């Protein structure tokens, strides 16, 4: 079963069908900003009906405020016009890609302008320089697809890579299973173009002050990235896949630590617990071991088959020593299936409870077994549904609290999330590996970052966005008076 080939949205004018000649929304009169932008950009790029605006208030985890107006720019010039118009009337500006983010980054905290980049999809490959020039709305997967004929790939592979956009990946500095060996989105950026809070366009490379580095992962709070030059690389010739399952979550973490200590550098090291495995089984029916408390998926890759096999053998031995049962993927198809399973974990959890609080902690690998056990124990003691998965090779874990807001207390959910965050902080970890802080983890920032550093971050924010127009209410908790 495949999710379907990623198709790039093509812009189309649309004649309303019969039956549409009826009154348009009465849901509030047209905001003056929408009128101005329609005059500047034409009606096709501006959404002002309630039915349209309602659909630009969420991402993959949170619902926010309904925007006053939505712009679908087709060029950097459109973005400039939109930013200037919004600033002139003093409304906040939120950038948005495919809204598959998991920290509330693209969900507005107050009514304003949403700039949705899904139509900025220009993409070109320079095989000699091994670079891709991608506008913000390019779908992540299409970069690799366009690079393939030249024998190149773009490694960052967030789970949502069929849906998510390069602009969104940059805003959140997205990672993926491959980041253990190959790095995250930010590691592939050679240069950026962005529009600042005043509507000025800037082009950056990574010399002098690494301002590009500051923009990457800033979640649209410092500027709006309109295009990027991305580094491409050659794909490894050989890949081998292995799956191991364990009777206890800590054993899985022990196997990971041992394998890496023994010298293996797998390209992917992913873990999911029993609840995740079962949610996936309900969706894909792959015959995964439903009884196991933890499942580990590993790829080793490279251009020397002997080394690739050796590394797999090292991981295999570490898994067995930790008490695991190992299965080798015998074909590319089997490996592909296992990885599709891993990519579907996050949304498949919706089968257990309709809502969730998603954590994105990173801890040192040396403390992994302790951390996953502590979090498991917190979950068991809370009476709530807590599950764990993540890029365990990086120490990047995603403990998720699944809940039903009609029957379970939001306060209890929040308390448990806070406890989980504290486990990470106590073991020398951080709050976000790849999904960003957004609005979801704002409350934990004061504990994770000391007051002096927070003040420095605020000074950066004030320097680049003096009026606080860009994605307010994200990343930084409000300054104390």
Partner 1 sequence: MNNDIRTHHPDGQGELMAHAVDACVHCGFCLPACPTYALLGDEMDSPRGRIVLIKEVLEGALPLYDAAPHLDRCLGCQACVTACPSGVPYGELITSFRGWSEPQRQRSPLDRAKRASILKILPAPKVFSLAARVGQFAKPLAPLLPNALRSPLDLLPEHVPAMQPSAAFTPARGQRRGRVAFLVGCAQQALAPNFNAATLRVLARNGIEVVIPDGQGCCGAAALHTGARGEALKLVRANLAAFNPDDFDAILSNAAGCGAGLKEYPAILHGLPDEAQAQAFAAKVQDISEYLGALLEDGELEPPMPTSRPLKVAYHDACHLAHAQGVRSAPRALLRAIPGVTVLEVPEGDLCCGSAGTYNLEQPELATQLGVRKAKNILSTAPDLIASGNIGCHTQIQSHARRQGSPVPVMHTIEVLDLAYRGEL
285 binds partner 1 (CB under 8 A): no
Between 15 and 207, whose beta carbon lies closer to partner 1?
A: 15
Between 58 and 458, whose beta carbon lies closer to partner 1?
A: 58
What are the φ and ψ backbone dihedral angles of 305, each rounded to 5 degrees?
-60, -35
Between 2 and 331, whose beta carbon lies closer to partner 1?
A: 2
- Span near partner 1 by CB under 8 A; candidates 256-264, 331-339, 341-349, 459-467: 341-349
- Span near partner 1 by CB under 8 A; candidates 216-224, 257-265, 346-354, 444-452: 346-354
25 binds partner 1 (CB under 8 A): yes
- Min separation Cβ 24 and partner 1, Å: 7
Which residue in 33, 47, 115, 228 binds partner 1 (CB under 8 A)?
Answer: 47
100 binds partner 1 (CB under 8 A): yes
Contacts to partner 1 from residues 186-245, by CB under 8 A: none
272 binds partner 1 (CB under 8 A): no
- Min separation Cβ 18 and partner 1, Å: 4
Contacts to partner 1 from residues 129-188, by CB under 8 A: 139, 160, 162-164
- Span near partner 1 by CB under 8 A; candidates 5-13, 173-181, 294-302, 304-312: 5-13
Between 51 and 233, whose beta carbon lies closer to partner 1?
A: 51
- Min separation Cβ 106 and partner 1, Å: 10
- Min separation Cβ 163 and partner 1, Å: 5
5 binds partner 1 (CB under 8 A): yes
- Going 231 to 176 to 1 to 5, the CA torsion angle's sign is negative
Between 6 and 460, whose beta carbon lies closer to partner 1?
A: 6
Size of the site for partner 1 (CB under 8 A): 64
Task: Give the tokens for residue 248.
Answer: 């206890």
Which residue in 40, 50, 317, 430 binds partner 1 (CB under 8 A)?
Answer: 50
Between 171 and 348, whose beta carbon lies closer to partner 1?
A: 348
Between 342 and 365, whose beta carbon lies closer to partner 1?
A: 342
Which residue in 38, 48, 109, 118 binds partner 1 (CB under 8 A)?
Answer: 118
Task: Give the tokens for residue 100.
Answer: 């598959």
Contacts to partner 1 from residues 357-396, by CB under 8 A: none
CB 356 within 8 A of CB 401: yes
Between 55 and 307, whose beta carbon lies closer to partner 1?
A: 55
Contacts to partner 1 from residues 69-98, by CB under 8 A: 72, 98
282 binds partner 1 (CB under 8 A): yes
Show the 3-state SS of the chain: CCCCCCCCCCCCCCCCCCCCCCCCCCCCCCCHHHHHHHHHHCHHHEECCHHHHHHHCECCCCECCCCCEEECCCCHHHHHHHHHHHHHHCCCEEEECCCCCCCCCCCCCCCCEEEECCCCCCEEEECCCCEEEEECCCEHHHHHHHHHHHCCECCCCCCCCCCCEHHHHHHHCCCCCCHHHHCCHHHHEEEEEEECCCCCEEEEECCCCCHHHHHCCCCCCCCEEEEEEEECECCCCEEEEEEEEECCHHHHHHHHHHHHHCCCCCCEEEEEEHHHHHHHHHHHCCCCCCCCCEEEEEEEEECCHHHHHHHHHHHHHHHHHCCCEEEECCCHHHHHHHHHHHHCHHHHHHHCCCEEEECEEECCHHHHHHHHHHHHHHHHHHCCEEEEEEEHHHCEEEEEEEECCCCCCHHHHHHHHHHHHHHHHHCCCECECCCCCCCCCHHHHHHHCCHHHHHHHHHHHHHHCCCCCECCCCCCCCCCC
DSSP bridge partners of 391: 396
- Min separation Cβ 185 and partner 1, Å: 18
Which residue in 28, 29, 42, 51 binds partner 1 (CB under 8 A)?
Answer: 51
**Which pairs count as long-range contacts for 196-199, CB under 8 Å and 24+ apart, including other chains?**
196/223, 196/464, 196/465, 197/83, 197/87, 197/93, 197/223, 197/464, 197/465, 197/466, 197/467, 197/469, 197/470, 198/83, 198/84, 198/87, 199/80, 199/81, 199/83, 199/84, 199/87
- Span near partner 1 by CB under 8 A; candidates 2-10, 319-327, 328-336, 365-373: 2-10
Between 162 and 312, whose beta carbon lies closer to partner 1?
A: 162
59 binds partner 1 (CB under 8 A): yes
Between 349 and 476, whose beta carbon lies closer to partner 1?
A: 349
- Min separation Cβ 9 and partner 1, Å: 3
414 binds partner 1 (CB under 8 A): no
- Min separation Cβ 98 and partner 1, Å: 5
| Residue numbers at the binding site for partner 1 (CB under 8 A) | 1-12, 14-27, 47, 49-52, 54-56, 58-60, 72, 98-100, 116, 118-119, 139, 160, 162-164, 280, 282-283, 344, 346-351, 354-356, 405-406
């Amino acid at each position: 079963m495949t999710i379907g080939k990623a198709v790039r949205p093509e812009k189309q004018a649309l004649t309303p069908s019969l039956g549409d000649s009826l009154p348009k929304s009465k849901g509030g009169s047209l905001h003056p900003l929408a009128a101005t932008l329609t005059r500047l950009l034409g009606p096709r790029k501006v959404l002002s009906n309630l039915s349209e605006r309602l659909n630009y208030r969420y991402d993959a985890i949170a619902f926010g405020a309904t925007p006053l107006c939505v712009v679908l720019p087709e060029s950097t010039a459109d973005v400039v016009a939109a930013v200037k118009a919004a600033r002139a009337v003093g409304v906040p500006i939120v950038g948005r890609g495919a809204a598959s983010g998991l920290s509330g980054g693209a969900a507005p905290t107050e009514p304003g302008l949403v700039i949705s980049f899904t139509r900025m999809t220009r993409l070109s490959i320079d095989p000699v320089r091994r670079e891709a020039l991608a506008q913000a709305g390019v779908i992540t997967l299409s970069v690799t697809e366009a690079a393939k004929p030249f024998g190149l790939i773009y490694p960052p592979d967030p789970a949502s890579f069929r849906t998510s956009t390069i602009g969104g990946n940059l805003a959140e500095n997205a990672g993926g299973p491959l980041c253990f060996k190959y790095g995250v989105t930010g590691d592939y950026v050679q240069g950026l173009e962005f529009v600042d809070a005043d509507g000025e366009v800037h082009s950056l490379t990574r010399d002098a002050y690494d301002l590009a580095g500051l923009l990457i992962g800033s979640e649209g709070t410092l500027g709006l990235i309109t295009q990027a030059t991305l580094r491409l690389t050659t794909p490894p010739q050989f890949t081998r896949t292995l799956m191991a399952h364990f009777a206890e979550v800590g054993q899985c973490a022990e196997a990971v630590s041992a394998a890496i200590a023994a010298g293996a550098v797998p390209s992917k090291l992913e873990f999911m617990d029993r609840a995740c495995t079962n949610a996936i089984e309900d969706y894909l029916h792959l015959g995964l071991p439903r009884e196991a408390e933890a499942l580990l998926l590993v790829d080793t890759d490279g251009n020397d088959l002997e080394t690739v096999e050796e590394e797999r053998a090292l991981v295999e031995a570490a898994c067995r020593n930790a008490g695991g049962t190992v299965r080798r993927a015998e074909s590319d198809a089997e490996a592909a299936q296992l990885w599709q399973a891993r990519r579907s974990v996050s949304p498949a959890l919706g089968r257990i409870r309709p809502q969730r609080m998603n954590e994105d902690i990173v801890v040192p690998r040396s403390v992994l077994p302790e951390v996953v056990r502590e979090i498991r124990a917190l979950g068991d003691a809370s009476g709530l549904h807590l599950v764990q998965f993540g890029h365990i090779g990086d120490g990047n874990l995603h403990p998720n609290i699944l809940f039903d807001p009609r029957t379970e207390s939001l306060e209890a959910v929040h308390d448990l999330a806070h406890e989980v965050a504290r486990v990470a902080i106590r073991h020398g970890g951080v709050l976000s590996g790849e999904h960003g802080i957004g609005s979801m983890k704002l409350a934990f920032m004061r504990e994770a970052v000391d007051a002096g550093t927070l003040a420095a971050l605020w000074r950066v924010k004030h320097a680049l966005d003096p009026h606080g127009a860009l994605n307010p209410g994200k990343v930084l908790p409000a300054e104390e008076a």
